[in-house]
C-alpha cells in the first residue's frame, strides 16, 4: 500500500515548512496561528465550500502574509516586489536551468 | 527528437502558480532577514514527506491491542506514553486517546482549521481539511461515516471530538475479531489512517 503524498503541490510543502519553522523559532505562537487561520478559513468558506486542497493552502498563505506584515517581519510592498522579481526570473531563465533572482 | 511538451516548446522555465511565487517571495525576504534557515525548511519537508506518517499511530494502536497495561496507561494519560515511544513534539503536545467500543464510536474533526496529531498521523489528508468534512462531521456524523463506508449498529453512540491547537485526539479503533495471535507488525497492517480519525474501522486494508 503506497501512502498518499503528504503534500499535493511543492508550494504547499514549502509554505507548511516555512510556517512551522517560524513558529519554532518563536516568531509566533501556534494557538495564535490557529485562531487567525481558522478565521481566514471561515471567511473564505462563506463564499464557497473549500475543498481542502489549493484553496486551503491559499487561505494559509493569506494568513501567514497578514501575520508577518502585522508583526513587522515584512511589508506588503516588499512582498509584491519580491514576487515580481521571482516572476521575472522564471520568465528570463531558459527552460531546464536553475531559476535564481540574482541575475 | 520531439520531446514531452504537449503544446509547445517552453522558451523559458515554466512559471509556477501565483501562490507559489508568493511563498518564494516570503521565503526569500525572511531568509535575507535571517529569520529563516533553508536547511531547516528542507528538514521539515523531508520529515513529513518521508518519515512521519500514520504508521506511527498504527504502532501505538497495535501495542494497545496487545498489551492491556500499555492501553490503560495510554487512555489514562497519553502524553508520557507517547513521549516514551518518541512520538511527541510539533502538534502532538497534548494528546488524548479515545477508545472505540461496542457502545461508542469516536470521530475526530477540527472545526476551527485542521488541528491534527502530526507526530502520530503525519499531514492530514485533503478531505480532513475540507469544509464539507469539518461542517458535516459535527452535524451529521453518521452520514459522514456512511460516506466512508462505515455503518454502525443503531445502539452504538457516535462521539465527535473537536481538536484544538491545544488538544489533539487519536481514535483507538476496535481490534478486529479473529486477530488473536498476530504479532505487532501484523496488527499494525490492520490499522488504517482513517480508522485512527474515526472515519474507518480497523481491518484488512
Beta strands in B13-153 (DSSP E): 95-99, 104-109
- The average confidence (pLDDT) of chain B is 91
Contact B52, B118 (CB under 8 A): yes
Q: Look-up: residue for cell 528538514?
A: B43
pLDDT computed for residue B194 by the predictor: 97
Put simply, the answer to whether B112 touches A38 (Cβ < 8 Å) is yes
pLDDT grade for A1, boundaries at 50, 70 and 90: very low
Domains and CATH numbers, chain B: 18-49 (no CATH), 54-197 (3.90.330.10)
Whole-complex ipTM: 0.93
Long-range contacts at B146-153 (CB < 8 A, ≥ 24 apart): B148/B194, B148/B199, B148/B200, B149/B200, B150/B199, B150/B200, B150/B201, B152/B105, B153/B102
Q: Is B113 on the interface with A (CB under 8 A)?
A: yes
What gap in Å lies between CA B158 and CA B100, rounded to an integer?
9
Q: What ranges do the domains of chain A cover?
A: 10-72
Per-residue pLDDT reduced to its tens digit, A60-87? 999 999 999 999 999 999 999 999 999 9
User: Which residues fall within 8 angstroms of residue B74, CB to CB, at 6 or more apart?
Assistant: B60, B64, B81, B82, B97, B172
What average pLDDT does the segment A35-41 reach?
Answer: 94
Put simply, the answer to whether B15 touches A91 (Cβ < 8 Å) is yes
Contact A11, B20 (CB under 8 A): yes
Per-residue pLDDT reduced to its tens digit, B72-124? 999 999 999 999 999 988 877 799 999 999 999 999 999 988 889 999 999 99
Put simply, the answer to whether A11 touches B20 (Cβ < 8 Å) is yes
The residues in A 15-74 lying below 8 A from B, measured between CB atoms, are: 15-18, 20-22, 24-25, 27, 30-31, 33-35, 37-38, 41, 45, 49-54, 56-58, 61, 64-65, 68, 73-74
pLDDT higher for A52 or B10?
A: A52
Q: Is A43 helix (H, G, I), strand (E, B) or coil?
A: helix
pLDDT grade for A45, boundaries at 50, 70 and 90: confident
Calculate the CA A94 to chain-centre distance: 26
Amino acid at each position: 500500500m503506497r501512502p498518499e503524498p503528504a503534500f499535493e503541490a511543492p508550494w504547499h510543502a514549502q509554505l507548511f515548512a516555512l510556517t512551522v519553522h517560524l513558529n519554532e523559532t518563536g516568531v509566533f505562537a501556534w494557538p495564535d496561528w490557529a485562531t487567525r487561520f481558522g478565521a481566514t478559513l471561515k471567511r473564505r468558506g462563506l463564499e464557497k465550500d473549500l475543498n481542502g486542497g489549493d484553496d486551503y493552502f491559499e487561505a494559509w498563505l493569506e494568513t501567514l502574509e497578514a501575520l508577518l506584515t502585522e508583526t513587522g517581519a515584512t511589508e506588503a510592498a516588499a512582498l509584491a516586489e519580491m514576487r515580481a522579481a521571482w516572476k521575472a526570473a522564471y520568465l528570463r531563465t531558459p527552460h531546464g536551468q536553475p531559476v535564481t533572482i540574482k541575475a | 527528437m520531439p520531446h514531452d511538451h504537449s503544446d509547445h516548446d517552453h522558451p523559458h522555465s515554466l512559471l509556477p502558480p501565483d501562490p507559489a511565487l508568493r511563498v518564494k517571495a516570503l521565503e526569500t525576504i525572511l531568509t535575507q532577514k535571517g529569520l529563516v534557515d533553508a536547511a531547516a525548511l528542507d528538514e521539515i519537508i523531508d520529515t513529513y514527506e518521508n518519515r512521519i506518517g500514520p504508521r506511527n499511530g498504527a504502532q501505538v494502536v497495535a501495542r494497545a491491542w496487545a498489551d492491556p497495561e500499555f492501553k490503560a496507561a495510554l487512555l489514562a494519560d497519553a502524553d508520557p506514553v507517547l513521549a516514551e515511544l518518541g512520538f511527541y513534539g510539533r502538534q502532538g503536545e497534548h494528546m488524548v486517546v479515545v477508545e472505540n467500543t461496542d457502545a461508542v464510536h469516536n470521530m475526530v474533526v477540527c472545526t476551527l482549521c485542521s488541528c491534527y496529531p502530526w507526530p502520530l498521523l503525519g499531514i492530514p489528508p485533503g478531505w480532513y481539511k475540507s469544509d464539507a468534512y469539518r461542517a458535516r462531521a459535527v452535524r451529521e456524523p453518521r452520514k459522514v461515516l456512511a460516506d466512508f463506508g462505515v455503518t454502525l449498529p443503531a445502539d452504538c453512540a457516535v462521539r465527535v471530538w473537536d481538536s484544538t491547537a491545544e488538544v489533539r485526539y487519536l481514535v483507538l479503533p476496535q481490534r478486529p475479531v479473529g486477530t488473536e495471535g498476530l504479532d505487532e507488525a501484523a496488527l499494525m497492517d490492520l490499522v488504517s489512517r482513517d480508522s485512527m480519525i474515526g472515519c474507518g474501522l480497523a481491518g484488512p486494508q
